[in-house]
Amino acid sequence: MNSDLLFSKTPPVKLFFTAAMPGAVSMLASALYQLFDGIFIGHFLGETAFAALNFSMPLVIINFALADLIGVGSSVPIAISLGKGEKKEADNLFTIACLLIVITGALTGALLFAAAPALIGLMGAKGEMARLAAQYLRVYALCSPVTTIIFAMDNYLRICGQIKGSMFLNIFMSAITAALEFTFLYVLGLGIWGAALATCTGMIVCALIALISFLRGRMTLRFVRPVLNPWMIRRIVSCGSPNFLNNLAGRITSILMNVLLLGYGGESAVSIYGILMYAEGFIQPLLYGMCDSLQPAVGYNWGAGAYARVRAIERCCFTASAILSALSLAVLCLFPAFITRLFLPDGDAAFMAESLTALRIFALTYLTRWFSFAAQSYMLAVGNALPASLLSVANALVFPVLLVVLLSPLGLTGLWLNFPGSSALTGVLALGVMLWFGRELARLQARAAKRTMI
């Protein structure tokens, strides 16, 4: 379907099922490679390698953070430009963004490769775990110039109306990654670096497939001779800052948590934290996929001045996010033992007891997380970067660090309580943001009505 027709004419509920549901499946599929990563490493390489994986993962995500900033930051103004009928502007933004992603990927990859052992050591890892963590990180760093563009391609495909194409590409990436990782670890007996190489290879293959689609010139967005203006960079950075700050702040918090976990409970505590992150890695892509897949439609209609349609689309987004979060809460509370054994089937009784407690506490996060997540996505889609950034940093860094201090007398239990506590505080902040924005939107609608009467 033509993206203009899809975004501007399709009824909101139908648009949700046309765009958001495939988008959620797409993001889940793209995140499954991390799930396979954890399962295969936990089963084939053991608890030390699993702890090393989770210890290095914050740095791996930081490696993708700048590319994510550019990809998301360019998607919002591209969608708004298309809504305004400024096709040349959209193509230019798309081309510049792709070039910037490759350049920043090369620079951050080189830096992380050189600094990997030192960074892992500064985080408190020692011995075998530190060696394995550095190995894993360095493979991602080497492949960074090519792999970092894959997530931006997902956004650009959806802007072009290729929602199912994006979904199938992500499913293919997860399938090829799982097959390669099983082959490298189980068949060939490679170490933890083989797991990283399998994932990077799957990303590279799918990034090239996506790029070829755009190079053929049949998409809504096309590569053009780039014309760089300083305001473009500022606009990309402004719109991409919420996601970037969320990634960066979240990884800083993860590093802090890993350091504290090592002190409170050693490698076992780090492994339990890893299980929580994998559980979140299954739920959050569904939330993100639904909200993010609607961003092009919201941005397009915002640029076109169709404010009532924007609100109708967002109502679908908030409702679906609440339903998904309620289901996630139920699953985490009912099946904590199954989730634990999925990653580390050989844990002793003490490990299992602590993991079950952690998962049940962590499940409470989804009582409120849906609201702040949907609100942040809404603000980003309409180009309100400041409130989106505020929600992002508050949830990922400010409230977690505050609660680390306040809940420290509770030890490990205090660290598990950090998740639902941070989510609840961010939910209150999101309510204030939405009340403020509701008044702003009412003023915009009143102005639009006056112009129509004139």
Distance CA 283, CA 386 (A): 26
- For 249-271, what is the mean pLDDT? 80
Q: Structure pTM?
A: 0.68
Q: Which two tokens stand for residue 103?
A: 């350049």
The answer on pLDDT for 3 being more than 60 is no
Sign of CA dihedral 362, 349, 50, 256: positive
pLDDT band at 110 (very low <50, low <70, confident <90, very high): very high
The answer on pLDDT for 34 being more than 80 is no
The answer on pLDDT for 30 being more than 70 is no
Most confident of 7-21, 97-111, 291-305, 437-451: 97-111
Higher pLDDT among residues 114 and 125, named by residue: 114
pLDDT of 357 reads 92
- For 200-208, what is the mean pLDDT? 91
- Considering the chain, what percentage of its residues have pLDDT values greater than 70? 95
The string of pLDDT tens digits covering residues 374-414 is 998 888 888 787 888 889 889 888 999 999 999 988 988 99
- Pick the closest to residue 272 from 370, 208, 341 (CA basis): 341
- For 176-196, what is the mean pLDDT? 90
pLDDT of 288 reads 77
